[in-house]
Amino acid sequence: MLRVVLIIIDGIGDEYIPELDGTPLEYASGRLHTLNRMAKEGICGIMHPVAPGVPPSSDIGHLSIFGYDIEKEYPGRGYFEALGAGLSLSKNEIAFRVNLATVREENGYLIVTDRRAGRISGEDAAALYQALNKALHEEGIPARVVHTIEHRGVLVLRGDDLLGAVTDTDPHETGTPILAAEPWRELSEDYFEKARKTAEIINEITMVSYKILSVMDINASRMARGLPPANVILIRGGGMAKDIVSFMERWGFKPAFIAAGALYKGIARALGMEEIHVTGATGTPDTNLDGKVDGCLRALDRGYDFVFLHIKGTDNLSHDKKPREKAKFLIRIDQALERLYGLEDSVIIVTGDHSTSSLRGRHIGLPVPLLIWSGKMRRDRVEVFNETACSSGGLGTFMGRDLMRIIMDMSDRSVETGTRPEGRPLQFHTER
């Protein structure tokens, strides 16, 4: 059996970008030595992470790729974000993902002008989260916020009869107002009441955040420097603790992961993967790519037979509509991956959790390219790694939920259908 390295380059796929006359990956692909070599010596394909035409959020994209049923096993994003932030949720707590964001007042509404407040980070972001925590405490709202990376954080509500099934306050686009959280429409009466109560608290927290954050000195000084103030929080993706079958139990691997973003850590932790720490891993384009590859090799040395390596920066650059920088970052990733080429007794898979448009700055429903390499193996005619080339690959087009079965097969773990060899060895007794 072969060991498995699954490299997820977040938001790797893209759409046609006029200034590059192609996607960022196509634009970069002339300079992708390692990935092209692997594509040439391996087998490629194109994958719909969830379903054709469906733009997945990162957590749903990953869960689907890891072979989980997103209808039945998805606990809500907030749970992953909380785990990723190092929190554990008790039974009477629910969590949400939050962003520090920028709004301006207009006719009694708060118009979102930057959903990430210029990607505020470091001590400033931490101080704003802290100030908000203090305010929530003083207002007697049973809630706390925790800063994770850049503008991102987690909101935890405590109370009986809460439910995360409320709509996002984040309008997911700029130039439009912050939305009121509302209970999902399709809920039963009992659940609806819980969600209504939760939505009320969320809307109150939104107002408190604006009241407190908009008068902070940090924001005055940001504005003086021409930076957008982080004067509100956007709230989305409610979730609560849920027992999920571990990755080991489902697939039989001893898994490890390398990721910097809270969401990805949270997903991997929820599935019982062991964390490999890498200094300088930031979840942004300035991450320590070499360190991440080192971490991967270290994990394999330590006996893990499945390593999930996550690289986030590509998605950030697409959201920020920087296709040229995305292409440059892809070239850097390719250079860092060179040390994995030639890895013995291993299968390497390179793909993404969804496509992100660098033109529109959001996730889109186009499929992602995928390559599988393991040294000597069956090949196809693909010679470069990008969306167009992979679409004529030997694996054809398939769904994210099928990937783990393909990996099981390529790593020599599959079992022929129709056979059930899972019994215990039959003991043979000899009669005297």
Quote the least distance from Cβ 297 to Zn ion, whole Å.
24
**CB nearer Zn ion, residue 9 or residue 43:** 9
In the range 110-139, which residues lie near Zn ion by CB under 5 A? none
Residue of the chain from 315, 334, 380, 387 that contacts Zn ion (CB under 5 A)? 315
Give dist(CA 90, CA 251) in Å, integer: 28
Give dist(CA 155, CA 205) in Å, integer: 10
Quote the least distance from Cβ 106 to Zn ion, whole Å.
27
**CB nearer Zn ion, residue 15 or residue 353:** 353
Pair of tokens at residue 200:
């009320």
Q: Which of 10, 42, 40 is nearest to 292 (CA)?
A: 10
**CB nearer Zn ion, residue 81 or residue 305:** 81
Quote the least distance from Cβ 351 to Zn ion, whole Å.
12
Residue count, binding to Zn ion (CB under 5 A): 4
In the range 333-372, which residues lie near Zn ion by CB under 5 A? 353
Quote the least distance from Cβ 319 to Zn ion, whole Å.
6
**CB nearer Zn ion, residue 59 or residue 305:** 59
Provide CB contacts within 8 A for 182, sequence distance 6+.
166, 167, 199
**CB nearer Zn ion, residue 37 or residue 319:** 319
Regarding 14 and contact with Zn ion (CB under 5 A), the answer is no
Strand order in 368-373's β-sheet? 274-275, 255-258, 306-311, 3-9, 346-351, 368-373, 43-48, 397-399
Name the burial class of residue 52, with classes exposed (0-12), middle (13-18) and buried (19+) by CB atoms within 10 angstroms of its CB. Answer: exposed
Quote the least distance from Cβ 269 to Zn ion, whole Å.
17
411-422 in b/e form (b: 16+ CB < 10 A) is bebeeeeeeeee
Kindly write out the interface string for residues 274-313 of this chain, putting x where it contacts Zn ion by CB under 5 A and - elsewhere: ----------------------------------------
Give dist(CA 265, CA 257) in Å, integer: 8
Provide CB contacts within 8 A for 431, sequence distance 6+.
none
Regarding 59 and contact with Zn ion (CB under 5 A), the answer is no
Q: Is 117 left (phi over 0), alpha (psi -120 to 50) or beta?
A: left
The piece of 4-12, 28-36, 74-82, 302-310 that touches Zn ion (CB under 5 A) is: 4-12
**CB nearer Zn ion, residue 199 or residue 368:** 368
Regarding 58 and contact with Zn ion (CB under 5 A), the answer is yes
Cβ 8 vs Cβ 407: under 8 Å = no
Cβ 275 vs Cβ 304: under 8 Å = no
Residue of the chain from 6, 7, 9, 10 that contacts Zn ion (CB under 5 A)? 10
**CB nearer Zn ion, residue 144 or residue 322:** 322
Instruction: Using CB under 5 A, list all residues that contact Zn ion.
Output: 10, 58, 315, 353
